[in-house]
Structure 1
């Protein structure tokens, strides 16, 4: 049963010194520079927690020696991870299965290589111990799609998950047109997309996003969905912590229900819906509806959250949240975070 809880929690770990049995799961595809730095910081601030990396080498190869020297479990994705389709979610399901088979932990925290801690590890451990004491199995900021507080995001979620989409072939037309015509084409496309949505037509169009490598898609309202009044589709920000029982429930469901997987394969950005839908509708699982990440969106339609800079460090440290995303290649902001985090870690362990 999914229940709402307050986002305020006493830091059990800080007062008792106990640690949750936790593993960090990192999906990556970059050149490894940010990944290695994140792993080293996790190893320094939380040395007892296993770190498991699943890397997509079709984008960049990864240097395994430095990671394995730190005791990191390095897995290679068997498929190319693309933004916007089910490949990232399948990568997470593989990680869940691997953890269930190989690690003796109770919780996992999902991260990307562009995440970074913004509070001592004891804060996250305290949150997880409190969740365990409250019989919660997941800490996920999630809602049924019809109850998403922001009306714009609510409409977007309904469009993503109640329609079935097909990729359109790329003809690279815009690359061959002069800039004024490209702007005109994009304006016309935007008007068409808006009209289809406003008039509640059973067709939707997503334009290609070259920056994210996402092809254009056309969608038709599904005549039948796997959702019901009592088992709705859920939406989340895709970064969360779940316990072993929830991992097992997710792995078992996607293995035993291929129809559910096929349905989500034809939705937009299923990584923000499938796992929270399985957990949110499970009769024996409880969810604490809260975020463990600071994430800022200046333009939600871009598909990319803001990159934090040195000007954001004070606010991130004051947030009280264990992690933030995302961070770019500029090391200065991470240097400042490390300076504060390592000092706080040493102070708490003294």
Structure 2
């Protein structure tokens, strides 16, 4: 009996259908992945290193339809929010203004605050039917640190918070430290959106090696801080002897006194905490006897290691204004500074007095946040309205809806990464 030739051919060919289909799908996925990595979405800012010049370039296109396959992955931030006695309301308000389900938040009230205040904060985070309890990305430090600000206890407390976030907070990209006198100037959707286009190895801090008067008032004096071994605050002690400037590393600090505010990468902070190189430990021991060590520790470590010194952006992403000549603390911000704050493009500002009216204006005009509610974002699915918090009903945290504020942050980032100034301001 003769076989039908056509039928025989189909039977043999059918054996190759599945392998060829799988191979085709894999090829398509590979091309999509490569294309997604190479080209940013239309109408967005994309920042990539130029292999020929080593400078940062920005790319834009004129809007239109965006292919979702080209959108970069959203980052995650790990926030450390610090406060002291009597500042629970400020810490709560700052958390509500900053909150986004993608991020992690660690709250710390120093040892001057009472156990009752820490318990109040913990109960707020764990309250029934709370968004914070449901999502579970907010933590409270139970064993508080003593923070004296003039000695090394502040940097010790910051490193403690970083270690907790590295251990308990899962995967994140950037660390941000804020105090209860800080406040955001834009929703998290805007910050996440712009940072999604940035290389994940950029460290933001104000820094310089021209330490000027700090050499004789900070570096050469030797101080002892009782806060390292006492449970109550007291002043630091100064030794009669002076010390020479270090020879094995170069000192870096911020331009002004208020230089401890940073936006640092997870990779750099793992290096500082785990210390597979001895530099972070050596520098930390040096700063143990240094006045206001928080103003120079991270700056000195990042600028003295070849793997990180080219990752620095000379800006702390804060709007801060000073008297002329500068005093011990920056100017307290009010409604008089509102337009300048907005124009700066900075995502954060300080310093604010408790309950100042400018905070209400920021809530109303920039954050669109109601009293005692969260700053709304694309994750908030409830019905907005007077006295209502749309974030009580929440959805996916993988989508953001940037506002006009993102354009201001985009402009600031473009200026900071401009090819003519970016490299020239690194660790100089």
Q: TM-score, normalized by length of structure 2? A: 0.59
> What is the CA-CA distance between 1:102 and the residue it aligns to?
1.4
Q: Is contact 2:177-2:262 (8 Å) kept?
A: yes
- Equivalent residues of 2:283, 2:300 under 8 A apart: no
**Alignment partner, residue 303 of structure 1:** 328
- Give, in angstroms, the shift of residue 246 of structure 1: 0.6
**In 2, distance between residues paired with 1:295 and 1:77?**
31
TM-superposed CA distance for 1:99, in Å, is 1.4
What is the DSSP-based 3-state SS (H/G/I as helix, E as strand, rest coil) of the residue aligned with 2:349? strand
Q: Distance in 2 between matches of 1:76 and 1:21?
A: 24
**How far apart are 1:78 and its partner, in Å?**
4.1
1:283-308 CA distances to partner (integer Å, 9 max, x unpaired)? Answer: 11221222200111216664211111
**SS of residue paired to 1:95:** helix
3-state DSSP of counterpart to 1:311: helix
1:213 shift after superposition: 7.2
Structure 2 equivalent of residue 240 of structure 1 = 262
The counterpart of 2:163, out of the listed 81, 94, 97, is: 97
In 2, Cα distance between equivalents of 1:258 and 1:246 = 14
Most deviating of 315-324 and 26-35: 26-35
**Equivalent residues in 2 for 1:100-119, closer than 5 Å:** 100-103=166-169, 104-119=171-186
SS at 2:175's partner residue? strand
> Counterpart in 2 of 1:142?
207
Alignment of 1:225-304 (within 5 A): 225=246, 227-228=247-248, 231-236=249-254, 237-253=259-275, 258-285=281-308, 286-298=311-323, 302-304=327-329
How far apart in 2 are the matches of 1:102 and 1:349?
29
CA deviations on 1:57-84 (whole Å, 9 max, x unpaired) are 3244332211344342001354311011
Partner of 2:215: 158
Per-residue deviation, 1:277: 0.9
Which whole-Å CA distance do the structure 1 matches of 2:289 and 2:236 have between them?
13
Structure that is richer in helix per residue:
1
Q: Which residue of structure 2 lines up, in the alignment, with residue 23 of structure 1?
A: 78
For the aligned residue pairs, the C-alpha RMSD in angstroms reads: 3.5
In 2, Cα distance between equivalents of 1:76 and 1:320:
35
Please list the CA deviations of residues 136-184 of structure 1 after superposition, one character each: whole Å capped at 9, or x if unmatched. 341112122x2xxxxxxx3233224431323699xxxxxxxxxxxxxxx
Once the two structures are superposed, residues 81-139 of structure 1 have per-residue CA deviations (whole angstroms, 9 ceiling, x without a partner) of: 1011111101111111111111221211111111000123244324533442xx63411
Q: Is residue 124 of structure 1 aligned with residue 142 of structure 2?
A: no
The alignment status of 1:75 with 2:96, answered yes or no, reads no
Indicate how the Cα distance of structure 1 residues 123 and 10 shifts in structure 2: closer, same or farther if over 3 A, else same: farther
Q: Could you tell me which residue of structure 1 aligns to residue 244 of structure 2? A: 223
- Conserved 8 A contact 2:151-2:225: no
Cα deviation digits, residues 307-338 of structure 1 (max 9, x gap): 11122222212211000011111341111001
Deviations 1:7-62 (A, max 9, x none): x97899x995852121211122142111110011112xx33211111221324433
Residue 235 of structure 1 and its aligned partner are, at CA, apart by 0.6
In structure 2, the residue matched to 1:65 is 123
Q: State whether structure 2 residue 96 is matched by structure 1 residue 40.
A: yes
Structure 1: stretches of 5+ with no match in the other structure: 147-153, 170-211
Change (3 A) 1:96 1:322: same
Q: Which residue in 2 is equivalent to 1:172?
A: none
Q: 1:47 to 1:289 in 2, by over 3 A?
A: same
Separation in 1, partners of 2:344, 2:325: 21
Aligned residues: 288
Aligned partners of 2:223 and 2:291 also within 8 Å: no
- In the other structure, the counterpart of 1:316 is 341
Counterpart CA distance in 1 for 2:215 and 2:55 is: 25
**TM-score if structure 1 supplies the norm length?**
0.71
Distance 1:255 1:94 in 2: 19
Work out the CA distance in 2 between the residues paired with 1:47 and 1:219: 52
Q: Distance in 2 between matches of 1:277 and 1:302?
A: 24
Query: C-alpha distance in 2, partners of 1:282/1:168?
Result: 28
Which deviates more from structure 2 when the two are superposed, residues 85-94 or residues 155-164? 155-164
Tell me: CA distance 1:165–1:246, structure 2 relative to 1, closer, same or farther (3 Å): same
CA 1:260–1:254: 2 relative to 1, 3 Å: farther
SS for the counterpart of 2:270 is helix
